[in-house]
Amino acid sequence: MPVGALAIETVGLTKRFGQQVAVNGINLAVPSGAVFGFLGPNGSGKTTSIRMLLGLTQATSGEIRVLGESMPVRLHEVLPRVGALVEGPAFYPFLSGDANLRRLDTADPHASRRTRSTRVASALERVGLSHAAGKKVGAYSLGMKQRLGIANALLQPRDLLVLDEPTNGLDPQGTREVRSLVRSLAAEGTTVFVSSHLLAEVEQMCTHAAVMSAGNIVAQGTLTQLREVGETRVRVRTPDAGTAERVLAGLGLAPVTSLPGEGEDPWVSAPLVGGAAEPELIVNALVSAGVRIRGFSIEEPSLEERFVALTGEGFDVVQ
């Protein structure tokens, strides 16, 4: 695709189930080559949106373009270029991982029988399942099944990979492996669209993100752009909280002291609105006033704070 093109674009995409609006006129813009996080609490409309993008369910209204083609009109031309893992993998439990992938590959009219063995072995190796290729899938852990689903999506070269909660059920090592795999695919030029409710994963894996809440996109852009909307704060841990508050107020800040735990010093914090003071000047002013500094930090705005403010809901931040 041309540089600067969009791998996924929607205009007013809407899905209703009777009177219920599951997806409410969303405008997605996923740059080609990006690792795009589609982030939101469970039930916010992420999976329904993905199903419409892939032609698995019909939109009530709106427009969809995937890899530059109108969907679902150009479905048969687009889908061979797209790998997807949606709503968890489904396999025959009595067959091995290798046999499952072979069956799925056989069902693909675009797949070459001549190179099937090589492609299946390569896909299993890429997701770290070569050692379990001959093992029945019924004996796989949830994380292994998840990785097998990703292997299925990688049986053919893909311009776009759509992953719905790809780290679901993975242990920390498996999560790192999937994260590394996503990065390597992006480095090769594949656009990766990752749906997730895990903030930590999006922050470590993605270059861009959109935030869904109750069927609406409430924010979209690069991770840097999303963070910039938040608030940078200065935090000082000191037994001289009252003096520290007066010093920070004298610098034009609005300090607040948090209640300390037993045996701990309080933290005094204040937003650095518009770069009100340089950290060096703050420290110098505190020391000059006799404030004993036991801890000092400048906290950049976090995605967690931004997303909770946008959606009114908490997010899972650890795996």
Kindly indicate the confidence band of residue 168, based on its pLDDT and cuts at 50, 70 and 90. confident
Kindly indicate the confidence band of residue 317, based on its pLDDT and cuts at 50, 70 and 90. very low
In a domain, residue 92? The reply is yes
> Domain holding 272: CATH number?
3.30.70
With residue 133 as reference, give the H or E element that holds it.
Answer: none
Kindly indicate the confidence band of residue 226, based on its pLDDT and cuts at 50, 70 and 90. confident
Residue 66 three-state SS: strand
Beta bridge partners of 161: 83, 192
pLDDT in tens, 27-37: 999 999 999 99
Q: Which residue has the tokens 């399942």?
A: 129
Instruction: Name, in order, each residue with C-beta under 8 angstroms of 235's C-beta and a sequence gap of 6 or more.
Output: 267, 268, 269, 295, 296, 297, 298, 299
pLDDT in tens, 179-189: 888 888 888 88
Residue 142 three-state SS: helix
308 vs 268 pLDDT, higher one: 268
Question: DSSP label at 96?
Answer: B
Pair (261, 215) in one structural domain: no
Pair (114, 202) in one structural domain: yes
Residue 284 three-state SS: helix
Cα distances (Å, whole numbers) of residue 98 to 87, 101, 144, 149, 272: 21, 5, 13, 12, 56
Count of the separate structural domains present in the chain: 2
The whole-number pLDDT of residue 318 equals 39
Pair (250, 153) in one structural domain: no
3-state helix, strand, coil in the chain (%, to 5): 35, 25, 40
With residue 210 as reference, give the H or E element that holds it.
Answer: strand 208-213
For 295, the domain range is 233-300
On the CB side of 308, CA atoms within 13 Å amount to 10
Pull the structure tokens for residue 131. Answer: 């050692």
Q: Can you list the alpha helix ranges (DSSP code H) found in the chain?
A: 46-53, 75-78, 97-106, 116-126, 142-153, 172-187, 199-205, 223-228, 241-250, 279-288, 303-311
pTM, rounded to two decimals:
0.75
Judged against a pLDDT cut of 90, whether residue 201 lies above it is answered with no
Gyration radius of the chain's alpha carbons: 24
Structural contact between residues 147 and 129, judged by C-beta atoms closer than 8 angstroms: yes
Pair (90, 22) in one structural domain: yes
In a domain, residue 191? The reply is yes
